[in-house]
Structure 1
Amino acid sequence: MQIASLNIVAVSDNPSDVELVAQLLQRAALNPEIRVVDSEKSLRSALQDQLPELIVSDFKLPQFSGLDALLVARDVCPDTPFILVSEVFGEDHVIHALKSGATDYVLKHDLARLAPAVRRALGDAQSALEQRRTLEALRHSELRFRLAASTGDVWDWDIETGLAQISPQWKMRLGYSEEDVENTAEGWLALLEPADRVRVLAAFSAHIRNHVPYDVEYRALAKDGSYRWSHAKGQAVWNAHGRATYMAGSVVDITERKNAEIKVQRLNRVYAVLSGINSLIVRTQNREELFQEACNIAVHAGGVGADAILTS
């Protein structure tokens, strides 16, 4: 993947190291544009001038450590990937750095790992950004849903005859004209996704027989072949013999909210896998054990089918 340019702040007092980093990233088509700082003051100044896409820091400087730089970065730009580079890392230092928010670490004698580590860090940062945007969209959608819920489209159902008044707006959102969908319970139920139809009927039965509140979410088939989500609430009327004769309620389209929830769930699974594997890399040295545990993480945290792993 070719990157037009990559804005990097390098925390270092060694020009040779910075030049080597620049060469390695250039060969990897990352096209770095590097600003070099060597103190807390110069780092804060650089970050205030322009937030970088990546921070690469030496672990040891004469009067300013990589961990000090990490604290500054997490204070000023907590979402920017931060990679530590050092001659040697003790296990305690690695664990402390990762817990403090470092994205990754690279040993100077193994700088071939730098470009892949940078690409992975940038990918993780982009995924995190997408997750935040999705969560924000979800919050906006929930607000719109709460506002719409008080004035949702109205439906009613004559339980004894099966005749129903299905909201014209609900039909329209699915792409149907008023005449396309028969105003009966059967006509409405025929559009429901089969598994959701079972749940809806069970909810109707529980409400009518046991007065359990009717409050369900379901998918309905649109005219273009897609499914849209609805949230319905309802209340029955019982006669003197305790038999339900009529039911009415409201229905609100929640497709946007449900799609956002599904996306968040997928992103959370991705983050669970990445977090688990990053922790695994720190703990595990044996290649076979690393592979086995990584597979377990993919199955249990990522929802990947075991059969898919065995056949890959």
Structure 2
Amino acid sequence: MQELRILILEDYPPDAELAMLELEENGLEFASRVVDNEEDFLRELNEFEPQVILSDYKLPTFDGISALKLVRGKFPEKPFIFVSGTFREDFAVETLKKGATDYVLKENISKLPFAVKRALKEVEKTLKRERAEKALKNSEMQYRTTINALDDMLIVVDSRMHIILFNKTFERKKKEFGMGKALKGQNMFEALPFLPENLKQEYLRIFETGESLINEYSYSVNGVEVVEEVRRIPVFEEGKVVRVLTIIRDVTERKNSENRIKASLNEKEALLKEIHHRVKNNMQIISSLLNLQSTQVRNEDDAELFKASQDRVRSMALIHSKLYQSDDLSSINFSEYITSLAYGLLSSYDVSSSVRLNLDLEDLSLNIETAIPCGLIINELLTNSIKHAFPNDEGEIYINLRELEGDKFQLIIGDTGQGFPEDLDFQKTDTLGMQLVMSLINQIDGKIEFEKDKGSKFKIIFGKLEYEERI
């Protein structure tokens, strides 16, 4: 028997070794190659000629979706299984729509051997089906034996919807459902009354247009819930559709597995929402404690320090509040966040009636890794303008946010106030607020520019920070 060849796209060697060990312990004999970049992946894809591909979702210089596109362009049926540490429901659905065979979470790596074996069986079934379809085009006599070897059910109807052929798998399934009467020559919709009502119209459309159809159907037969993938292929004679070949695959087990995964993902999503909710509540408690403590402080400068700390905690609590309310638990609508934060600060300092707020914000989202430091930066610069820019308590603060090319963003925060003193270098000031701003700018790998143009204006260019797994 030819040895199985597996290509592994993984940038963390221990994970690749763990996957191989799991396969070996489950009796799979194979040769493998491990790569972590596009160049090596393409080379091994052509030279090693793997029969199965295991891929992480995201790597430093490459990603699983791009690898999947490359594979599907050359090898439409080759098994491609994602093995990832984190996999949200929308990512799982996206990968399956783009042609992935399956996906396995690294925390459930014990399921990998079953996924590989199932994928190989699916390939074998697909090859059998393709051979059957090719045989059908050549000669009816040649494909009779072949179609009876299929694990999928097969049935052929003519333009009157009469059953003229079905294979042994279909006949066996018919008996399992207690349908003992003969089907050949019968009208399909009379012989199989459990079929959906709209199915007849779909068959008529195939006879009219000559186009194939692929659908999934769910129905109950004798109390048994069944989910089937149905391929309907027109058969032509002299340019006219005379028969429709229907290939039916039972995907009930696969659908049940997908539903279990979806339920598990929903459970984890609910847990993550609860975590964000509790973090937000804890930060609000910290803010309240700071407020209570500040009432005991006699010195105004010390009281200001407490209020500044309270505002910083609120800016972070607002991030978790937005995440809790968001459908996407990994990112928030940052324009909505800025709006809430800015008006909250004006109200906090009781200047909302005298200081105008001019917001020009693109509708975009940032992940939590980027949103928290950006939120703190905005909090510090806005607070600075509110406290120091307007000696007469009147003026305007403006904020501009837009996305640039190359996954970069531009944030502008300015005011029409009295501006910074001429001899003050904002990058070397000894105030905690500006020191915090400069530290956070470095954290998001950003650049900051300062202009004195009828007030103060800060322009910040930054990119999204990627999530780094904590140990």
Alignment TM-score, normalising by the size of structure 2? 0.33
Radius of gyration: which is bigger? 2
Alignment TM-score, normalising by the size of structure 1? 0.49
User: Comparing both chains, which one has the higher relative contact order based on Cα–Cα distances under 8 Å and sequence gaps of 6 or more?
Assistant: 1
